[in-house]
Structure 1
Amino acid sequence: MSFKAIPGQPAAKRMLQNSLRRGKVSHAYIFSGPVGTGRRQMALALAKALYCRHRTEDQDACGECLDCRKVAHGNHPDIHIVEPEGQTIKIDQIRALQKEFAYKATASATKIYILVQAERMTSQAANSLLKFLEEPASSVVAILITENGNGLLPTIQSRAQWISFTPMPRGDMVTVLQQEGHALPLILPAVHLAAGVDAARELVTAPWFAEMRNVVIQLAREACTRFPQAFMTIQQRLAKSELAEHLPTFYDLLVLWLKDMVQLTLMRQEHLVYKDQTDWMAQIARTKDVREWIRITGQALELQKRLRSNANPQLLLEKTIISIQGG
């Protein structure tokens, strides 16, 4: 992975490449931003550029030297990646890292460690890491990857350079995924649910995602035209299937459908998510006024919140269908 191969994030790339150009790479970084925005790929791109023997003029890795190949294949001896064991990153993991880094780098002058989901460190692990940041045993670069940099200890934040990762523009994600040959009907909802192209690609290529989209379309249509059948569909295709594991995404996709209905009621079709379903959706949209569709959307969002609170899933689904029907 090189900087130029990572879509988006121009500000993050510029900051890192300028640091490499000036020879002033920080001893610690916080890569903070939503899942799917390329934080891990950027960490590896920085590592590859640091170790590269033939760095390009724009401070990117050549991708061909021995060190570049080792980073790409995940076997560079001076890069250590720490991820949560279970729910947290534990103090024993940080201690093992400190012990490993007590030795000199084997292949280069610098060792790098990457903490994935750094906000999930226990308090003991975070305090141990803080001491390590203050007193590294050798030349070290730390990269803390997190969804919420503010969730880290303030003392850790103050000792690291903050690099913010922002959601990639949807239009850019659509372009990338279309160029890769993915189907537009799946791309459009995926880019609304993901912050970056990697996360969107993961959805688009997941078989369950395509099936869930089809279920949302079927249930929405049945709720409006063949109401009793919708309850059978809930039983057969949601409640008692593998899709039951992805009910939060069902609500995400349903809310996107309802927002399309609001737009169709207002005679707007420029930014629809379910573009391939416009004909029948436009007919149904006219059966209610815009205030009713907005009310139903609000109810769906409220039922989604209750799902997160461990309410009965099947009961919530049935209430959702009744709400769409107008009951």
Structure 2
Amino acid sequence: MKTWKDIANTQPIVTKMITNMIKRNRVAHAYLFQGQKGTGKEEMSLLLAKSIFCQFKEEGEPCQTCKDCIRITSGNHPDVHKLIPDGASIKKEQILHLQKEFTYTGLESNQKVYIIVDADKMTTNAANRLLKFLEEPNKKTTAILLTANGEAMLDTIRSRCQIMSLQPLNSEQMQGKLQEQGITEANARLFAALTQQIDEANLLNQDEWFAQARKLVVQLTGMLQTNSEEVLLFVQKQWMLHFANREQLQLGLDLLLLWYKDVMYTHIDKEESIIFIAYREEVEKGSMYWSNQDTTAILYSIMGAKKHLEQNVHPTLVMEQLTLQMQR
């Protein structure tokens, strides 16, 4: 379980701001934690909730062992509510249900905490509904909004929140920490590019599914160069079977992004930035096949595919269209 002391190692400024507020009993009625995936937004939101409810905290640090802390960790605290997107978005009905909860007295105290994950994915109607709570805050209610894209939030919502901007981890430091734990340089370099959470990186290191995902990326890029007429069949029969849901396919697209960035790094003589160092020869072959202009176009196509997935376009259609765009 993370503590404020742990988080201060990677987010010193935000941690100091929050712990000072807790010590002075000046917790805001609404926070917006904005930062890239892996910067610890959700961990910080749960830790803040613990700091609010824990009766045994010291210097703002929750005890982690009392009834309130344990139930928040397990997701079973009756007065801590977490809202996540329903499909591709957070809908008006979800906010209406949340507003209804606002009217009830807390089951064990008058304090309540609401955590809204991926708050930037609220529909316009949902965001406007949320404004009512933010405009008329209850002293005993704290809202915590989490987003990787703060600029996508309505200005009217941002202006009513205490904004906490989380800084991305230094990838070199992350890679070093992973290698200290026995992860190979090649794997540590890749994991540091995909996540900023050591625990998640360790899980990836032990995950046979991920190891196969990386092989499929290498196989797909190789087929595009040498056997392009079979690529669509490969995508249908192998790629889509392995990347079976939207989350997995997003990870597959992230790996493709990193691969083609490596091709770009080779073009501009920045080989020290290459991520797929275990496949340097294959990356170099790719740089001879795809021009700088080709590579740039493919990178934009992959980012477009990721956006289409978020917009609920059928995964197979997204991947087939991308495959056609990657073919010269």
Q: Structure 1 282/300 Cα, relative in aligned 2: closer, same or farther at 3 Å?
A: closer
Q: Between the two proteins, what is the percent identity of the paired residues?
A: 34
Q: Which amino acid aligns with 2:20?
A: N
Task: Give the secondary structure class of the aligned counterpart of 2:81.
Answer: strand
Match of 1:235 among 225, 233, 236: 233
CA contact (8 A) 2:174 2:196 kept: no
Offset of residue 276 of structure 1:
2.1
Instruction: Decide which moves more: 203-212 or 20-29.
Output: 203-212
Instruction: Decide which moves more: 4-13 or 302-311.
Output: 302-311
Offset of residue 48 of structure 1:
0.8
Unpaired segments ≥5 residues, structure 1: none
- Distance in 1, matches of 2:127 and 2:261, equals 42
Give deviations 1:130-172, integer Å, cap 9, x for gaps.
2222334551111112233333333322221111123222123
Offset of residue 212 of structure 1:
2.7
Offset of residue 180 of structure 1:
5.2
- Distance in 1, matches of 2:318 and 2:80, equals 45
- Distance in 2, matches of 1:265 and 1:128, equals 49
Q: Structure 1 201/133 Cα, relative in aligned 2: closer, same or farther at 3 Å?
A: farther
- Distance in 1, matches of 2:263 and 2:301, equals 19
Offset of residue 275 of structure 1:
1.9
Q: Structure 1 152/136 Cα, relative in aligned 2: closer, same or farther at 3 Å?
A: same
Instruction: Decide which moves more: 113-122 or 89-98.
Output: 89-98
Tell me, yes or no, if structure 1 residue 100 matches structure 2 residue 76: no
CA contact (8 A) 2:257 2:302 kept: no
CA contact (8 A) 1:9 1:165 kept: yes
Offset of residue 72 of structure 1:
1.7
Give deviations 1:79-138, integer Å, cap 9, x for gaps.
111223344434443343333333433434521111222233344433332222233455
Give deviations 1:47-81, integer Å, cap 9, x for gaps.
11122222233x22121222222222222222111
Match of 2:12 among 10, 13, 20: 10
Q: Which amino acid aligns with 2:323?
A: L
Map residues 211-230 of structure 1 onto 2, 5 A cutoff: 211-221=212-222, 227-228=226-227
Q: TM-score, normalised by structure 1?
A: 0.77
Tell me, yes or no, if structure 1 residue 294 matches structure 2 residue 296: no
Q: Which amino acid aligns with 2:52?
A: L
Q: Structure 1 75/317 Cα, relative in aligned 2: closer, same or farther at 3 Å?
A: closer
- Distance in 1, matches of 2:83 and 2:283, equals 50
- Distance in 1, matches of 2:129 and 2:320, equals 46
Q: Structure 1 9/315 Cα, relative in aligned 2: closer, same or farther at 3 Å?
A: same
Unpaired segments ≥5 residues, structure 2: none
- Distance in 2, matches of 1:158 and 1:302, equals 32
- Distance in 2, matches of 1:210 and 1:50, equals 41
- Distance in 1, matches of 2:85 and 2:252, equals 28
CA contact (8 A) 1:174 1:191 kept: yes
Match of 1:29 among 7, 28, 31: 31
Task: Give the secondary structure class of the aligned counterpart of 1:113.
Answer: strand
Task: Give the secondary structure class of the aligned counterpart of 2:62.
Answer: coil
- Distance in 2, matches of 1:261 and 1:123, equals 39
Q: TM-score, normalised by structure 2?
A: 0.77
Task: Give the secondary structure class of the aligned counterpart of 2:61.
Answer: coil
Query: Which residue is 2:128 aligned to?
Result: 127
CA contact (8 A) 1:2 1:48 kept: no
Give deviations 1:254-304, integer Å, cap 9, x for gaps.
4533444555577765333122234x448748x949xx6423422422543
Query: Which residue is 2:323 aligned to?
Result: 317
Computing the radius of gyration from Cα coordinates, the structure with the larger value is 1
Offset of residue 16 of structure 1:
0.7
- Distance in 2, matches of 1:152 and 1:244, equals 30
Q: Which amino acid aligns with 2:159?
A: S
Query: Which residue is 2:119 aligned to?
Result: 118
Query: Which residue is 1:273 aligned to?
Result: 275
Task: Give the secondary structure class of the aligned counterpart of 1:89.
Answer: coil
Task: Give the secondary structure class of the aligned counterpart of 1:130.
Answer: helix
Give deviations 1:167-224, integer Å, cap 9, x for gaps.
2221233244445555543442343244655765676565443223212333445666
Q: Which amino acid aligns with 1:52?
A: C
- Distance in 1, matches of 2:94 and 2:86, equals 9
Tell me, yes or no, if structure 1 residue 256 matches structure 2 residue 258: yes
- Distance in 1, matches of 2:63 and 2:304, equals 51
- Distance in 2, matches of 1:266 and 1:118, equals 38
Give me the CA root mean square deviation: 3.6
Instruction: Decide which moves more: 148-157 or 21-30.
Output: 148-157
- Count of matched residue pairs: 313
- Distance in 2, matches of 1:312 and 1:96, equals 33
Map residues 190-209 of structure 1 onto 2, 5 A cutoff: 190-194=191-195, 207-209=208-210
- Distance in 2, matches of 1:96 and 1:222, equals 50
